[in-house]
Amino acid sequence: MNGGPFRDTLTPLIDEAQRQLAELQRQRMTLEIRYQDARKRLDEKTALAPSPDAAVLEGLGEHEFVMPPLETLKTPFIAGLVLGALSWFQTFRHPR
């Protein structure tokens, strides 16, 4: 069978579908490259610098605890105190 009467009508459709598939594959490759580049940039931005205390932590055993400097705890402590007080007042206020 050599294609019969539908060969002339299907050939342009198949060619167009193949062209569209090639275009979509090219677009996908471009998007994957852009994604990899964006991922690299994001990883570079979010990479943490080594802490100066890293050498101190390496010398400690598993069960030892290192207290961070009090200045770093000041803001979270005050924020927790304020939020805790607000939630306590809301929880235990008298119904009217």
Interacting residues of 66 by C-beta distance below 8 A, sequence separation 6+: 53, 56, 57, 60
Total-model pTM: 0.43
Contact of 43 with 53, CB cutoff 8 Å: no
Please tell me the predicted confidence (pLDDT) of residue 36.
Answer: 96
Mean pLDDT by 10 residues, the chain (96 residues): 68 93 97 95 79 58 69 88 85 69
